[in-house]
């Protein structure tokens, strides 16, 4: 049985550091929400507060209708997956998975049935009798997932579960986690610092910075329309240029011109590399290719332009086939559709 | 295999548990400090009848102790002996430990077997063995300072080896040596300029442990060092004679207290040098695993 | 040894490194360790072997004579039994008190941990005659606690220093700290994430310890027990200080017997050798079990 999670004005300080600065969040039953942000933004503290491993200084935490704010971890209806797997070394995979049921003193038959079910769910049946030091990282994390889900918790908590794994294993396991979560429809809170990971699997992403939630949105919306400068820099790779504001508009020569945000003489503009139109036909701002980086399907051009006597450097991503002729030193012209440019006041 | 680093987890404990813990440690602290306090009081005690504290105090015993040539002589003998043991151990162990890591892997199990012997065999047994062997091979050395010092070097070397080996492991001497060799240094230069400065905690800990072992060692001093007077030897005589020569008893308190103070300073130094890592007295799990893997 | 690549026309190949004469190679591999090896061989290994040999040497070559004589003597049997019982008692006390202490200290914050480690270091090294004297200073007939309690009107008769209880109390003073220092590193093996994971799985503290903590730590605790046992049966200094004077009611231990024979009996070398080899055998067996325990513990970690 899954429940929603409600976080109401949660605060936590370590000494003079405000790890959580009044976080309020409503998480719907069955959704997977990712907490995304750099180290120290408070995402892990928030997750551990829901788990009961940290005690907030203020605010309330509800799981379903139940206020669990002072309740010990042991009594909360949760399952948790740790970054380092935290599998018990003296137990087999099966015993690890069965552990939450064993400590609840469930009947033996039920334990066997349920652990069989979990082993099937995470594809670990052949490894059931192995010990943690005999299996790979990916298998260990799947076992940890099985253990967390075995007692059918209301909320599944995941603390950067993929960080300790090799890149190749990471993608596969990421999709595994999403598949399993959708199958059992358990509410899940997933902490990560990797924005592509967050956007690949989450129903919604909460971007956190300095103990606060900057923006919550579904991945496409977050990607297209970041609400704050921080979100813009953190999610997706973007070009960022600081430009002067003139007559209420901010522009980069003939490349683009957009209305300026109010109240500032300078603005920071963001636009994505793939939105930069590069042509050889002279339409737009003249630019020179400094160098080109081959990334497989796309190539990234490092461009330098001269606008109003000021140099500007940014990237443009093109399909590699189209970039074949664009060697370092080539002269091109660039423009960006105004709707693809977001402007924020500088210094904000 | 990750090294076992002790991570203090500030888990919120229920109040009763914390009080229980505090009480436990309070009792433990009293238990450990009490004998030392008692010894200290003995050094100042005058007349002492049925009371927890003496009836009168005096500085006499300290003056007598300092003026007692046998006592002072045994103290200086012990100091010289212990220092010599520490120096010899460092001189013997460091090259061997280094070579075992960098050049000759087969040295390691041999050294470790040797290091197990002083743990396996009580010092009295080793002392007895050395006595018998020296009688056959080098009778001229029997009862000499040199032989006793060599004996102490042998029984203290495991402590020195484990401390130095751990420090070498932490410093990554294999990689350092390779880098130094690539710069053209000779082994001697490498040890002197690169290795030794990087294993200082191990050198300090090891030499202190060797010193402490030698200073307080009784069995070998009695059996091998016949005729030599170290602090433990003098103390044992004083202990026997306390009925016939009451003042000696209090002088014994003085030297015991001085020994304790010395040990305390040395222990503080060891803990200070090892504050960033777990202090290992014995190989422990990690090193056993390393050995098993060869 | 460097192999030379087949020379291609026109290329210059580096000359192969000259093969060292094997004697020279042998020396360079062993030389720096030679002093230590001589010390180990000559002052540890050879004496031990000599004692083993001497325990089997009689007037007409190899014989079990000495062994039968020694083992049939009631005094020696008493000494052996007492040594073993004392060793077991010491190890058990050190484990019961030391294991929780090691756990709690390993969880402390750096400053208090350092303070305790320093105190334990002192106590662990404070053995021998000094400790025997300190025991008498506290619990002897003129000891501080004795006089203090008598002053309060309690007719306290302290255990005789040379009795079993006396030795046990004195040995424990060094044994408990020694146990703690030996097992603190092992405590770090219990990762805090395991406790957190157990909590999220709804385990109680006791369930955690029963199912995870104790199974993982028990080989190391047992290893500590064995080490203290081995150490205790071989203690000489403290025993001599408390009971070495002899006397009718004084305790008898293997180590004291050896010391006795060496001190008084010119022809006793053979019998002392037997006792020494007996100690060696017990200690070696103990160490073998210790290694086995550690290897078993590591199969999970």
- Give B7 to chain C, closest Cα distance, Å: 7
Q: Which residue has the tokens 């290329």?
A: C11
Q: What is the pLDDT of residue C8?
A: 42
- Considering only CA atoms, which of C241, C246, C271 is closest in space to residue C258? C271
Which residue of chain C is at minimal alpha-carbon distance from B240? C245
- Cβ C202–A74 below 8 Å, yes or no? yes
Tens digits of residue pLDDT in B99-154: 898 888 888 888 988 888 887 788 988 998 998 898 888 888 777 899 999 999 99
- Considering only CA atoms, which of C160, C159, C185, C174 is closest in space to residue C90? C174
Three-class DSSP category at C263:
helix
Q: What is the pLDDT of residue B6?
A: 38
Q: What is the pLDDT of residue C206?
A: 94
Distance in angstroms (rounded) separating the CA atoms of residues B234 and B227: 11
- Give A85 to chain C, closest Cα distance, Å: 9
Which mean pLDDT values do the consecutive 10-residue runs of chain A (348 residues) have? 88 90 93 93 94 92 92 92 92 94 93 95 94 94 95 95 90 93 94 92 93 91 84 81 85 86 84 88 85 89 82 88 86 88 78
What mean pLDDT value characterizes chain C?
84
Tens digits of residue pLDDT in B211-231: 999 998 999 998 888 888 899
Q: Is the pLDDT of residue B50 over 80?
A: no
Q: What is the pLDDT of residue C10?
A: 44
| E strand or H helix that includes residue C238 | helix C237-243
Contact C112, B32 (CB under 8 A): no
| E strand or H helix that includes residue A257 | strand A256-259
Distance of CA C261 to the CA centre of its chain: 24
Distance in angstroms (rounded) separating the CA atoms of residues C82 and C167: 11
Q: What is the pLDDT of residue C175?
A: 93
Tens digits of residue pLDDT in C209-255: 999 999 999 999 999 999 999 999 999 989 988 887 665 557 889 88
- Which residues in chain A are contacts of C196 at CB distance < 8 A? 51, 53, 73, 80, 82, 86
Q: Which residue has the tokens 């030193």?
A: A329
Q: Which residue pairs, CB below 8 angstroms and at least 24 apart, start in A94-97? A: A94/A119, A94/A128, A94/A129, A96/A132, A96/A143, A96/A144, A96/A146, A96/A147, A97/A143, A97/A146, A97/A147, A97/A150
Instruction: Give percent of chain B above pLDDT 90.
Output: 20
Q: What is the pLDDT of residue B4?
A: 32
Tens digits of residue pLDDT in C1-41: 333 334 444 445 444 445 555 677 777 788 888 899 999 99
The CA distances from residue A331 to A287, A288, A337, B8, C219, in Å, are 6, 5, 20, 61, 72
- Cβ A82–C300 below 8 Å, yes or no? no
Q: What is the pLDDT of residue B289?
A: 47
Q: What is the pLDDT of residue B17?
A: 67
Strands (DSSP E) contained in A28-180 are 32-36, 58-63, 66-67, 78-81, 155-159
Once rounded to an integer, what is the mean pLDDT over residues B284-293? 46
Once rounded to an integer, what is the mean pLDDT over residues B254-265? 88
Backbone phi, psi, residue A327, to 5°: -100, 165
Q: What is the pLDDT of residue B244?
A: 58
Q: What ipTM goes with this model?
A: 0.81
Q: Which residue has the tokens 């603005």?
A: A267
- Considering only CA atoms, which of A139, A51, A143, A136 is closest in space to residue A91? A143
Tens digits of residue pLDDT in C145-199: 888 887 777 777 788 888 898 899 999 999 999 999 889 888 888 888 999 999 9
Length of chain B: 294
Q: What is the pLDDT of residue A153?
A: 94
Q: Which residues in chain A (275-334) have CB-CB distances under 8 A to chain C?
A: none
Give the strands of the sheet with A298-307, arranged side by side: A276-279, A331-336, A285-294, A298-307, A310-319
Q: What is the pLDDT of residue C147?
A: 81
Q: Is the pLDDT of residue B1 over 50?
A: no
| E strand or H helix that includes residue B140 | none
Q: How many CB atoms lie within 10 A of CB B215?
A: 26
Between B258 and C301, residue with greater pLDDT? B258
Distance in angstroms (rounded) separating the CA atoms of residues A249 and A226: 20
- Cβ C201–A88 below 8 Å, yes or no? no
């Amino acid at each position: 049985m899954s429940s929603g999670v409600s976080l109401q004005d949660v605060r936590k300080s370590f000494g003079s550091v405000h790890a959580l600065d009044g976080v309020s969040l409503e998480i719907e039953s069955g959704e997977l929400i990712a907490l995304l942000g750099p180290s120290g933004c408070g995402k892990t503290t928030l997750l551990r507060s829901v788990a009961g491993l940290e005690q907030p200084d203020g605010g309330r935490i509800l799981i379903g209708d139940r206020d669990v704010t002072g309740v010990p971890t042991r009594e909360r209806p949760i399952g948790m997956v740790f970054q380092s797997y935290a599998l018990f070394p003296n137990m087999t995979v099966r015993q690890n998975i069965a552990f939450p049921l064993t400590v609840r003193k469930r009947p033996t038959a039920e334990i066997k049935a349920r652990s069989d079910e979990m082993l099937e769910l995470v594809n670990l049946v052949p490894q059931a009798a192995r010990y943690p030091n005999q299996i790979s990282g990916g298998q260990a994390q799947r076992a940890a997932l099985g253990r967390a889900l075995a007692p059918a918790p209301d909320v599944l908590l995941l603390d950067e579960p993929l960080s300790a794994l090799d890149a190749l294993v990471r993608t596969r396991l990421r999709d595994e986690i999403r598949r399993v979560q959708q199958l059992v429809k358990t509410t899940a809170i997933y902490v990560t610092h990797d924005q592509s990971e967050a956007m690949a699997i989450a129903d919604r992403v909460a971007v956190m910075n300095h103990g606060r939630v900057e923006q919550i949105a579904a991945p496409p919306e977050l990607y297209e329309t970041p609400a704050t400068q921080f979100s813009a820099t953190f999610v997706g790779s973007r070009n960022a240029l600081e430009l002067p504001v003139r007559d209420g508009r901010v522009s980069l020569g003939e490349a683009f011109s957009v209305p300026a945000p109010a109240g500032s003489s300078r603005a920071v503009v963001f636009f994505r590399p793939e939105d930069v139109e590069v042509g050889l036909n002279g339409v737009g701002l003249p630019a020179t290719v400094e160098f080109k980086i081959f990334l497989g399907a796309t190539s990234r051009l490092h461009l330098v332009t001269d606008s109003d006597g000021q140099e500007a450097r940014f990237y443009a991503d093109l399909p590699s086939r189209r970039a074949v002729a664009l060697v370092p030193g080539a002269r091109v012209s660039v423009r960006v559709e105004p709707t693809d440019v977001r402007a924020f006041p500088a210094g904000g | 295999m990750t090294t076992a680093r002790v991570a203090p987890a500030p888990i919120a404990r229920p109040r009763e548990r914390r009080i229980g813990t505090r009480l436990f440690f309070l009792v433990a602290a009293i238990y450990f400090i009490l004998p030392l306090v008692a010894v200290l009081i003995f050094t100042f005690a005058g007349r002492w009848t049925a009371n927890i504290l003496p009836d009168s105090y005096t500085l006499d015993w300290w003056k007598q102790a300092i003026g007692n040539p046998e006592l002072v002589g045994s103290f200086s003998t012990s100091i010289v002996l212990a220092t010599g043991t520490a120096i010899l151990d460092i001189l013997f162990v460091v090259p061997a430990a280094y070579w075992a890591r960098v050049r000759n892997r087969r040295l390691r199990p041999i050294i470790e077997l040797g290091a197990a012997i002083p743990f396996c065999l009580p010092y009295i047994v080793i002392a007895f063995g050395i006595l018998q062997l020296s009688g056959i091979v080098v009778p001229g050395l029997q009862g000499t300072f040199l032989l006793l010092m060599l004996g102490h070097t042998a029984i203290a070397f495991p402590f020195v080896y484990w401390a130095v080996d751990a420090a070498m492991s932490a410093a990554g001497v294999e990689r350092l040596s390779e880098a130094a060799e690539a710069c053209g240094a000779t082994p001697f230069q490498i040890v002197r300029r690169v290795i030794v400065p990087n294993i200082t905690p191990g050198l300090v800990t090891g030499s202190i442990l060797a010193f402490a072992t030698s200073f307080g060692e009784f069995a070998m001093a009695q059996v091998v060092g016949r005729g030599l007077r170290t602090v433990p030897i003098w103390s044992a005589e004083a202990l026997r004679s306390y009925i016939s020569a009451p003042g000696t008893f209090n002088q014994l308190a003085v030297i015991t207290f001085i020994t304790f103070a010395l040990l305390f300073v040395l222990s503080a130094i060891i803990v200070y040098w090892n504050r960033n890592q777990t202090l290992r007295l014995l190989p422990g799990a990690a090193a056993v695993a390393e050995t098993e893997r060869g | 040894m460097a192999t030379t690549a087949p020379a291609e026309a026109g290329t210059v190949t580096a000359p192969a490194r000259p093969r060292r004469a094997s004697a020279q190679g042998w020396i360079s591999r062993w030389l720096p360790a030679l002093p230590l090896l001589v010390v180990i061989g000559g002052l540890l290994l050879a004496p031990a072997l000599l004692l083993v040999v001497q325990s089997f040497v009689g007037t007409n070559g190899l014989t079990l004579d000495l062994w039968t004589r020694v083992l049939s003597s009631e005094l020696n049997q008493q000494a052996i039994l007492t040594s073993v019982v004392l060793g077991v008692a010491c190890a058990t006390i050190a484990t019961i008190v030391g294991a929780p202490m090691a756990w709690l200290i390993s969880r402390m914050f750096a400053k208090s941990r350092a303070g305790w480690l320093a105190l334990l270091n002192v106590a662990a090294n404070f053995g021998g005659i000094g400790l025997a004297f300190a025991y008498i200073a506290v619990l002897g007939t003129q000891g501080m606690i004795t006089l203090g309690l008598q002053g309060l009107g309690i007719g306290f008769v302290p255990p005789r220093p040379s009795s079993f209880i006396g030795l046990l109390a004195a040995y424990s003073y060094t044994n408990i700290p020694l146990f703690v220092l030996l097992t603190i590193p092992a405590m770090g093996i219990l990762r805090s994430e395991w406790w957190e994971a157990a909590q999220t799985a709804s385990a109680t503290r006791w369930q955690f310890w029963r199912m995870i903590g104790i199974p993982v730590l028990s080989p190391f605790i047992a290893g500590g027990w064995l080490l203290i046992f081995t150490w205790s049966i071989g203690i000489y200094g403290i025993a001599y200080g408390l009971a070495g004077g002899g006397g009718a009611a004084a305790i008898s231990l293997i180590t004291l017997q050896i010391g006795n024979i060496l001190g008084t009996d010119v022809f006793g070398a053979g019998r002392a050798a037997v006792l020494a080899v007996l100690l060696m055998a017990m200690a070696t067996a103990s160490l073998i079990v210790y290694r086995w325990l550690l290897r078993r513990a590591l199969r999970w970690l």
